Amino acid sequence: MTERKPAGMGFESWIDRQIRQARERGEFDDLPGAGKPLPRRGEAFSMDQWIVDKARREGLDTEAMLPEPLRLRKEIDRLPDAVRELRSEEEVRELAAELNRRIAASLRRPSELPIVLRRVDPDALVEQWRSGAGETGERSSAAPRRVAERRGRRGFWRRRKPRS
Residue 24 has pLDDT above 80, yes or no: yes
Q: What residues does each domain of the chain span?
A: 67-138
Residue 100 has pLDDT above 70, yes or no: yes
Give burial (CB, 10 Å; 0-12/13-18/19+) of 59.
Answer: exposed
Query: What is the Cα–Cα distance from 71 to 100, expressed in whole angstroms?
Result: 13
Query: What is the Cα–Cα distance from 113 to 28, expressed in whole angstroms?
Result: 47
Residue 134 has pLDDT above 70, yes or no: no
Q: Give tens-digit pLDDT for 60-91.
A: 888 888 888 889 999 999 998 888 888 899 99
What does each C-alpha distance from 50 to 33, 55, 57 come to in angstroms?
A: 17, 9, 10
